[in-house]
Structure 1
Amino acid sequence: MDVEVVGRVLSTLPQDDDHPYRTGPWRPQTTEWRAEDLQVVEGEIPADLDGVYLRNTENPVHPALERYHPFDGDGMVHVVGFRDGKAFYRNRFVRTDGLLAEREAGGPLWAGIAERPAGSPRQDGWGARGRMKDASSTDVVVHAGVALTSFYQCGDLYRLDPLTLETLGKAEWGGAFPHDLGVSAHTKVDPHTGELLFFNYGTTEPYMHYGVVGADDRLSHYVEVPLPGPRLPHDMAFTENYAILNDCPMFWEPELLARGRYAARFHPELPTRLAVVPRRGGPRPIQWFEADPTYVLHWVNAYEEGDEIVLDGFFQGDPEPKDTGEGGAYQRMFRFLALDRMQTRLHRWRLNLVTGRCEEERLTDSITEFGVLNNAYGGRRYRYAYAATGLEGWFLFDGLVRHDLLTGQEERFGLPAGVYGSEPAMAPRTGSTAEDDGYLVTLTTDMNEDRSECLIFDAARVADGPLARLRLPERVSSGTHATWAAGDSIPGWRDAESPAHALRL
């Protein structure tokens, strides 16, 4: 393995930091690496695995003003690329406006998600609340050959070279990007049309917008989606002809919001509302459906079946877990992010466009989240969902599960104690013809050996364990979302003689 340090970002975090979400599996990194021909610890890299796995991470550089929330951490993207049976690795901070400003100031400038807005040294900010640093540390997708990172609450989309991870600036969409409201954490790329679908939300009417960006990277559609008040939607889904948005009854408490406090509360007396929006329509053609009250952090997929739209996501049995008073302030705060406390289970909603009725069913009793699929089946009928399992508080994934949505069967792989995974991505085999003909890729954080690895699984045989384990240069921090981009979707991928040359260093 040929390893080189290519950059470091100066951190002002205390040397003896004891914060529960900046230590252990969440220990941040400050070194940026370039590694070619990664060491194979076990197995063999499949020769027909061709493309890049990209994963975003919350990676704080400075301490919080008062109370650190993991979503405040600065964005760092990791890439593991595969070609011709070899692999390379690189990681880079996303050079956001906030990161650059705080680097110049030598410390924090904005209040975080769990802090008082009035406490910000600077009141200019990005995001739906207009006073937060846009860390661009939540999700990553690839659209029009460029990687785009996004923020937990609405912000800009930062453009990255998917091979070098060089920050290329912000998405502009032909000068039409809605910088005043930004874009939600989760955008969706339709592989069949090359379009990117998105929504945003804010604290003033109409509270939500929906839009479409064409394969030419220009905004082609943008409409209002009226809501009864400020909401906190996180994700969306789409089908061949529709986008599905949501109005879940977990949102900022209106009375507190009027006083400048952003405290989310669950309102079980209200239904979950699901909006079916024609891909190029709205706001009048929007059809709303009412469902059981819950909060859905992540959807898996949706597709059309006769008069119905079938929508799959993770139903929270307890969106606002009871505060038991145990474990200290941070553990109580992050009960909202513990999969076992929230009781997240794979769920299906059937939305009948003719009758206006919504029928629901639980698809599994297992507690899982962060579901992914073969992206070629996005918005189309599909059979397999792959998800993370985790019972140890805030997004510590202890294994993978393959859900067969036709038979109801599950196939699992559990990581050893003290080893945690990342959101997996499904990488179709080159020339694949079946939905599950490909690989699952994930990164691990091994607290026992103080190291990280990239694991590659046969997507059809997850329980058999990894086909290959690759050593990374440094133990990486626990993170959130990841994606897969096939090599032929990346400009210049095949022009280079090798993956190392493809890095364009």
Structure 2
Amino acid sequence: MSPITRVVARYEPTLPADDDHRYRTGAWQPTFTEWSVTDCEVVGELPDDLDGVYLRNTENPLHPSIGRYHPFDGDGMVHAVEFGNGTANYRNRFVRTAGFEAELAAGGPLWAGLAEPPSRSIRADGWGARTRMKDASSTDVVVHRGIALTSFYQCGDLYGLDPVTLEQLGPQRWDGFPAEGVSAHPKVDEHTGELLFFNYSTTAPYLHYGVLDPDGTLGHYTPVELPGPRLPHDMAFTEHYAVLNDCPMFWDPDLLARGVHAVRFHPDLPTRIGILPRRGGGDEIRWFEAAPTYVLHWINAYEDGDEIVLDGYFQTNPAPSSPPDASIEDRMFRFLDAAELGTRPYRWRLDLRTGTVTEGFLDDRTVEFGMINPRHLGRRHRHVYAMTNEPGWFLFNGIVATDVETGATQEYRFAPGEFASESPMAPRSGSTAEDDGYVVTFTTDVANDRSECLVFDVRSIADGPLARVRLPERISSGTHTYWMAR
């Protein structure tokens, strides 16, 4: 069948016509059209047993920035491909947050972003651990209780969309919704139906952790005291525990007291990993000390006898230096370059009996944004699907599949000028083996001015994609993704 393509909406950006910002052009050129495409054109053949929806959130600015622009400031846009019966449908929609609506009405930016002090914002209200930020809800996306939830890395609302149609459902609040909001990277336990989440702020106790029950009610919420304001970006969980963190990369306390949000690495402090019973109070947390680093993303955690096994990405150089003549933007964007940060897969084993930590690298490759079979989150895993990084950029140029038990790897590199998204594993319908299924990813092909959704067999990623789903236009690069099986 031929694709049935419909333009749902087109937005008029207020970005400069001669925009040359490195994260608003090229692979990061924003998308301003919302599409619905039925029976997308497919090159190759889609598997009949690939049944579900692949969702990706995207930083996609509609307006220029107040001062310097950081790619994490962009408005949220969700892209989705629905698979079933060997066919694919595509949709994309802006996340119509309160901030998006306000700036749309004003015809320009109202809030300063990550690279500027909050005092530069025109509006005095806003969300975020820094306060007075626009909650762009552009970082992450998960599906809980059949609702796609987008979230923001500096904390804010959870915005709901229908995961198939992308119908806007608005902020998803519950009785007891925290005043601090919810951070990006809440976790869905497919075995229990619970949503585990955290938030952080610049005021004591600085961290909270909670559990949303399968029926959408708040089942647990507790403060977790930290020594001061921190910048946790992710969490993990096991069958019985939540895994939180206190990494020694955080705002300089002296500057923060003067309203300056300058991040500094503190190599004299350990990385602290907190193990808390999933329904435990904050005073029940046990802290384990490990080598100093910053962990942006964890891979997974599970229980192994008396030990918690925790996998994530250890930054060997959390504070990359810059040449003396480097611009402020050059210095800032070095923190987006995995090669500069030296992110490598790492394993911590936390002994609950003795309180000791055994730690070390799993591989010497520079990779990040690892995904596993979602049925194994919180349980023992063996297979990880991670992204290689384009040197000097926040762009993904390849996929590496790793067997963490044997160390065996397979890799697929994209063509020059073609960049991928975080690539979740989609279990084959009816499968039971951990590595039985597919890996899916969106691509932004600057060289050929197009975008596709690629489908790989997880056992033969190096052989290239089984199918390429053609999208109606080239889309912006983006960050986090989710696979919703049906």
For the criterion TM > 0.5, the same-fold answer is yes
TM-score of the aligned structures, taking structure 1 as reference length: 0.95
Report SS of the residue matched to 1:168: strand
Residue 391 (structure 2) pairs with residue 392 (structure 1): yes
Residue 133 (structure 2) pairs with residue 166 (structure 1): no
Q: CA deviation at 1:15?
A: 1.1
Instruction: Count residues with an aligned counterpart.
Output: 484
Q: Name 2:141's counterpart in structure 1.
A: 140
Q: CA deviation at 1:331?
A: 2.3
Q: Name 2:127's counterpart in structure 1.
A: 126
Whole-Å separation in 2 of the counterparts to 1:25 and 1:330: 18
Q: Name 1:85's counterpart in structure 2.
A: 86
Q: CA deviation at 1:326?
A: 5.9
Q: CA deviation at 1:308?
A: 0.1
- Cα deviations by residue, 1:384-423 (Å, 9 ceiling, x for unpaired): 0100111333321001000101101111000011100000
Whole-Å separation in 2 of the counterparts to 1:253 and 1:458: 46
Q: CA deviation at 1:327?
A: 5.8
Whole-Å separation in 1 of the counterparts to 2:444 and 2:112: 29
Q: Name 1:26's counterpart in structure 2.
A: 28
Q: Name 1:259's counterpart in structure 2.
A: 258
Whole-Å separation in 2 of the counterparts to 1:269 and 1:394: 29
Which letter does structure 2 place at the counterpart of 1:347? Y
Report SS of the residue matched to 2:103: helix
Whole-Å separation in 1 of the counterparts to 2:209 and 2:203: 15
Q: Name 2:234's counterpart in structure 1.
A: 235
More deviation in 288-297 or 18-27?
18-27
- Cα deviations by residue, 1:64-115 (Å, 9 ceiling, x for unpaired): 0110010110000000010100000000000000000001111100111101
Whole-Å separation in 2 of the counterparts to 1:470 and 1:325: 45
Q: Name 2:158's counterpart in structure 1.
A: 157
Whole-Å separation in 2 of the counterparts to 1:135 and 1:240: 32
| Alignment of structure 1 residues 483-494 onto 2, 5 Å | 483-487=482-486
Whole-Å separation in 2 of the counterparts to 1:167 and 1:67: 30
Which letter does structure 1 place at the counterpart of 2:466? L
| Alignment of structure 1 residues 403-414 onto 2, 5 Å | 403-414=402-413
Whole-Å separation in 1 of the counterparts to 2:190 and 2:76: 25
Report SS of the residue matched to 1:411: strand
Whole-Å separation in 2 of the counterparts to 1:448 and 1:137: 26
Whole-Å separation in 1 of the counterparts to 2:118 and 2:484: 38
Report SS of the residue matched to 2:451: strand
Q: Name 2:284's counterpart in structure 1.
A: 285
Whole-Å separation in 1 of the counterparts to 2:215 and 2:325: 52
Residue 353 (structure 2) pairs with residue 351 (structure 1): no
Going from structure 1 to structure 2, the CA distance change for 1:144 and 1:172 (only over 3 Å counts) comes to: same
Residue 212 (structure 2) pairs with residue 177 (structure 1): no
Q: Name 1:491's counterpart in structure 2.
A: none
Report SS of the residue matched to 1:108: coil
Q: Name 1:498's counterpart in structure 2.
A: none
Q: CA deviation at 1:152?
A: 1.6
Q: Name 1:321's counterpart in structure 2.
A: 320
Report SS of the residue matched to 1:460: helix
Which letter does structure 2 place at the counterpart of 1:220? G
Identity %: 65
- Structure 1: where are the runs of 5+ without partners? 488-505
* 8 Å contact kept, 1:152–1:185: yes
* 8 Å contact kept, 1:312–1:349: yes
Whole-Å separation in 2 of the counterparts to 1:329 and 1:254: 21
* 8 Å contact kept, 1:387–1:400: yes
Report SS of the residue matched to 2:396: coil
Q: Name 1:44's counterpart in structure 2.
A: 45
* 8 Å contact kept, 1:429–1:439: yes
Q: Name 1:501's counterpart in structure 2.
A: none
Residue 34 (structure 2) pairs with residue 35 (structure 1): no
Which letter does structure 2 place at the counterpart of 1:177? F
Whole-Å separation in 1 of the counterparts to 2:115 and 2:61: 15
Q: CA deviation at 1:297?
A: 0.2
* 8 Å contact kept, 2:52–2:484: yes
* 8 Å contact kept, 2:421–2:479: yes
Q: Name 1:467's counterpart in structure 2.
A: 466
Whole-Å separation in 1 of the counterparts to 2:170 and 2:119: 29
Q: CA deviation at 1:428?
A: 0.3
Report SS of the residue matched to 1:63: coil
Report SS of the residue matched to 2:216: coil
Whole-Å separation in 2 of the counterparts to 1:176 and 1:320: 38
Whole-Å separation in 2 of the counterparts to 1:393 and 1:160: 34
Whole-Å separation in 1 of the counterparts to 2:112 and 2:432: 49
* 8 Å contact kept, 1:372–1:387: yes
| Alignment of structure 1 residues 188-337 onto 2, 5 Å | 188-325=187-324, 328-337=327-336
Q: CA deviation at 1:132?
A: 0.2
* RMSD over equivalenced CA pairs, Å: 0.9
Which letter does structure 1 place at the counterpart of 2:308? I
TM-score of the aligned structures, taking structure 2 as reference length: 0.99
Which letter does structure 1 place at the counterpart of 2:92? N
Report SS of the residue matched to 1:284: helix
Q: Name 1:379's counterpart in structure 2.
A: 378
Which letter does structure 2 place at the counterpart of 1:161? D
* 8 Å contact kept, 2:118–2:130: no
Report SS of the residue matched to 1:14: coil
Whole-Å separation in 1 of the counterparts to 2:408 and 2:263: 36
Whole-Å separation in 2 of the counterparts to 1:105 and 1:340: 40
Whole-Å separation in 2 of the counterparts to 1:127 and 1:166: 25
Whole-Å separation in 2 of the counterparts to 1:395 and 1:118: 28
* 8 Å contact kept, 1:349–1:361: yes
Which letter does structure 2 place at the counterpart of 1:461? S
* 8 Å contact kept, 1:128–1:182: no
* 8 Å contact kept, 1:395–1:480: no
Whole-Å separation in 1 of the counterparts to 2:204 and 2:393: 33
